[in-house]
Amino acid sequence: MNGKLLVVDDEIWFREGLVNLISSNPLGWEVVGEASDGEEAKEAVSRCKPDLVITDINMPILDGLDLTAWLSEVYPDIMVIILTGYRDFEYARRALRYGAVEFMLKPFSLDEAYRVLNKSYEQFRLKQLAKRLEEQEQQIELFRKAIFGLPTEREAKEEWEQRWTNRNFSILYIQSYYPTEREYKRSDINLLHYAVSNIVQELLQDHQPYGLFLPLYKDTFAFLLQTEDDEQSYTDEVTDALQRYLGLQCEWVSLGDVQRFDDLHIQFNKLQERQLGSTSEIEMTGEGHQLKEELLSYLLNNDLDAAKTTLNHYIQRGRSVELHICKKHIYTFVSVISGILLSDFKQFQAIGANDMLNPRYILDINSVEELVNWAQDKCSEFLQMFERWLDERQNNIVYRAKQYMLEHYRETCSLQSASSYIHVSPNYLSNLFKKETGISYTNYLTQIRIEKAKALLQGTKMRMTEIAEAVGFDNSSYFTVVFKQVTGQSPRDYRKHVEESQDGATQ
């Protein structure tokens, strides 16, 4: 894919020569416009939407530096190469502030022109690749939200529907990761899952570069495929490749064409119901909703003990019912936990796709005892995950508070401003900071300010009022009081003591 290029120079002979050079060599660029000055270039940029602008720095009406400044503000994604002579080189360096990617000194050799243009094209190619990957990730994330019925903005739904309507929604199941002809172990599952993902992704690019692929669980993969002959060719080739390279048997389930964003959740739920039995009884009683609300209240208040008690009590109730009812009961548990992981605590989305709570396992369990024990194990894993996350979150909050103080100690730097920056309540930050560090937020900030003041007292001749202001105190009198409380000396005595020590060391 060629990038679009605009050439701007007031010397027509030079401009035409540069255009001819670019057009007659495979440098990755297509000239889409020319301009003789900055004002003309602004109109051409708006019309042609180039990816790269090559501009001379000295031009009438609007020079190249001002044009680059305008581009950085209005079209920040457009790259700029500055053409300049030796006399203007230092002046041209100011263009770096506005994002110029390269300079070319007039007159330049063909080799230099090729080098700069090839380098710029590589930057353009990498930017386009990053943009495509980011867009793909956004589309996949919307695909996930659609399947699991997660909250999504209406505009995002409508845009997604315009792009993916009439695609076939298909599910790929790996029947077992333990085929009889292969001696796979439990420790191999992650590697096998990775291998399956790579195979289906590479073949998707070959057959349907505009399809979507999303791993839901270790053995479950979701696809949006073009409803054409190539779809059957793709699914057949995936089935054959998984068998040939990994020895794995798979099953494809087509859920039909998608017309609306919300269809995906409806179709996926119907598939789950066909496999696990109707969940209408659960929905009517509201049992799942009640469990989720109760569990969320405990998790949001960091009360893992209460959450554990609630979940254990719920799971144990499954022991007193028949197997088919117990499966519905445990399926509710799985649905609640999955919903929390995927919607209410989005930081666990990647974990939610790692098969820990794959409801298809429920199908393979043939006794109430085994089913309850399986659910109990999943409950423990879920709570351990939250416990680790809470520890990491608390440590991260304290670390961010310390960094905030180091960056803002010269300012007010109040507990309220720090908590607002970290997105927690002041009371929560205050209690957590004292618990993790052993001292209060205010005392820790004071220590920072006093240490900074010591450095200024030792290394500068600044006045006390200047030092007080430099380290965040409103006035020098209060600074003196606090300094003496912390160090046992006034700032003046401390400076005098340091100077005397330094004089003694030099004698």
Last residue of a domain, one of 96, 127, 158: 127
Residue 107 has pLDDT above 90, yes or no: no
**Could you tell me the residue range of the domain that residue 121 belongs to?**
3-127
Answer yes or no: is 177 within a domain.
yes
| Per-residue pLDDT at 350 | 47
**3-state per-residue secondary structure call for 332-391:** HHHHHHHHHHHHHCHHHHHHHCCCCCCHHHHHHCCCHHHHHHHHHHHHHHHHHHHHHHHH
| Per-residue pLDDT at 199 | 93
**Residues 175, 71: one domain?**
no
Last residue of a domain, one of 229, 255, 275: 275
| Per-residue pLDDT at 341 | 75
Q: For residue range 226-279, what is the model confidence (pLDDT) as tens digits?
A: 866 667 889 999 999 999 999 999 999 999 899 999 999 889 878 877 766 544
Answer yes or no: is 120 within a domain.
yes
**Residues 352, 236: one domain?**
no
Provide the domain count of the chain: 4
Answer yes or no: is 242 within a domain.
yes
Answer yes or no: is 378 within a domain.
yes
**Residues 270, 309: one domain?**
no
Q: For residue range 116-132, what is the model confidence (pLDDT) as tens digits?
A: 899 889 989 988 888 88
Q: For residue range 12-46, what is the model confidence (pLDDT) as tens digits?
A: 898 889 999 988 888 889 999 999 888 999 999 99
Q: What is the CATH number of the domain that holds 463?
A: 1.10.10.60
Last residue of a domain, one of 335, 363, 389: 389
Q: What is the CATH number of the domain that holds 70?
A: 3.40.50.2300
Residue 290 has pLDDT above 80, yes or no: no
**Residues 284, 299: one domain?**
yes
Yes or no: say if 342 and 333 are a contact pair by the CB < 8 Å rule. Answer: no
Of the candidates 268, 257, 272, 313, the one whose C-alpha atom is nearest the C-alpha of residue 290 is: 313
**Residues 363, 411: one domain?**
no
**Residues 341, 401: one domain?**
no
Mean pLDDT lowest for which of 152-156, 207-211, 388-392? 388-392
**Residues 208, 326: one domain?**
no
| Per-residue pLDDT at 285 | 45
Answer yes or no: is 144 within a domain.
no
**Residues 364, 408: one domain?**
no
Answer yes or no: is 137 within a domain.
no
Q: What is the CATH number of the domain that holds 265?
A: 3.30.70.1230
Q: Say how far apart CA 443 and CA 1 lie, in whole Å.
A: 59
Average pLDDT over residues 219-224: 91
Answer yes or no: is 142 within a domain.
no
**Residues 160, 258: one domain?**
yes
Residue with more model confidence, 279 or 96: 96
Q: Say how far apart CA 146 and CA 152 lie, in whole Å.
A: 8
Of the candidates 315, 299, 316, the one whose C-alpha atom is nearest the C-alpha of residue 307 is: 299
**Residues 176, 204: one domain?**
yes
**Residues 485, 406: one domain?**
yes
**Residues 302, 287: one domain?**
yes
Answer yes or no: is 141 within a domain.
no
Q: For residue range 442-496, what is the model confidence (pLDDT) as tens digits?
A: 999 999 999 999 989 987 888 899 999 999 998 888 899 999 999 999 999 999 8
Residue 92 has pLDDT above 70, yes or no: no
Sign of CA dihedral 26, 31, 37, 41: negative
